[in-house]
Amino acid sequence: MNLLDLCLLCSLSWNLTAGSQVLCSADKSTAPVGGSVTMQCRLNLNSAKPDVLQVTWSKQSGEFAGTIATSSRSHGQRFLGPYSQREVRFSEETQDLSAITISSVTPGDRGCFQCIFNVYPLGASMGSVCLDITETRISDPKLDVNSSAEYHVISCSATGKPAPTITWNLTETPKKNPQNYSIIHPDQTVTVISNFTLATLRRMERINITCFVHHSALGSDIVLSKAIEDSDNHSFGKENTFTTNVAVLVIVVIIVTISLVFIIVHQRWKMCKYNQNNGIGTGNHQVKEKPKDQKCFRTFNPRNHTLV
């Protein structure tokens, strides 16, 4: 290690020098997997001509932590660690500005990055920028409608990472604003559920429901739509059910009545036949046998309008 490198290492350990600061930003705070992101840091010094000996980019958090790139007068540009095998480049570099671009972003790029300007003779000035990575993982977008005689319960849900956002377009105003709920899964995906209640209308009506699912990894929103046919069928259904129940009850009563009449008539007929064929009595008293031709039940003669 030469004297210049030793001086650089010592200077990196110094505290932030008064009168200097580093402002960092990224062209996008959230980058999709497979995309690219550019992070840049600008050095602001009271000195008109800062003498920057080296700029160091390091990753402070996430799957990998350590120096990822350096740019110095003596060694030029170098990329270190796992980023030496990646599509990484210094996209802009001046005495007071350094920008680095990471292509083919992966979930491992999520975390905070630090940019350190080593300025002679002031020492190290540093700033940081944090990057979030979105994975194109939107699944199970659903729009459900559960209707009853009084209400329609409408629910829209989707799962993604990070959490998707759900909005509505309605032709009717709900009783209450939609309520949103979130379920965080072990893989850090989030299921968002948004639901609300609509009262059924007592007139012929067509209600259009549209749910929009927003996500940073999507090129455009997912649109889910349904139409609800609202009518007087709900009240009609109640009346129809009541009428049906009454009709069934009447039929049952009629069947039971006919059955009872049949049983009674049949029993009387059997008793009459028995009395015709047998004498009935107790002890020494015995009822005389009825004539064989005697009828148990008389019938109506339509010719002379008499019972025979």
CATH of the domain at 82: 2.60.40.10
Number of domains in the chain: 3
Domain boundary among 184, 214, 231: 231
Domain boundary among 173, 198, 231: 231
Q: Please indicate, yes or no, if residue 308 is contained in any of the structural domains.
A: no
Task: Tell me the pTM.
Answer: 0.47
Domain encompassing residue 271: 235-301
Other beta carbons within 10 Å of 106? 15
Contact indicator for 307, 299 with CB cutoff of 8 Å: yes
Q: Please indicate, yes or no, if residue 123 is contained in any of the structural domains.
A: yes
pLDDT in tens, the chain (308 residues): 443 343 333 333 333 444 458 888 887 777 878 888 999 998 887 666 778 889 999 999 888 889 999 998 888 999 998 998 888 999 888 888 899 999 988 888 989 999 999 988 888 888 999 988 877 677 878 888 888 878 888 999 999 877 899 999 877 777 778 899 999 999 888 999 999 988 876 655 678 889 999 987 677 888 999 888 765 444 444 555 667 888 888 999 999 999 888 888 878 877 887 776 765 544 444 544 445 455 565 555 556 555 45
Q: Determine which helix (DSSP H) or strand (DSSP E) holds 3, and give its type and residue range.
A: helix 3-12
* Residue 163 to residues 171, 188, 189, 198, Cα–Cα distance (Å): 27, 9, 7, 26
Give the tens place of pLDDT for each residue, 288-305: 444 545 556 555 555 655
Residues 125 and 33 in one domain: yes
Residues 40 and 83 in one domain: yes
Q: Which residues pair with 252 in a beta bridge?
A: none
Contact indicator for 99, 93 with CB cutoff of 8 Å: yes
Cα 105 from chain centroid (whole Å): 27
Q: Please indicate, yes or no, if residue 209 is contained in any of the structural domains.
A: yes
Q: Please indicate, yes or no, if residue 139 is contained in any of the structural domains.
A: no
Q: Please indicate, yes or no, if residue 155 is contained in any of the structural domains.
A: yes
Give the tens place of pLDDT for each residue, 69-96: 999 888 899 999 899 888 899 988 888 8
Domain boundary among 134, 157, 173: 134
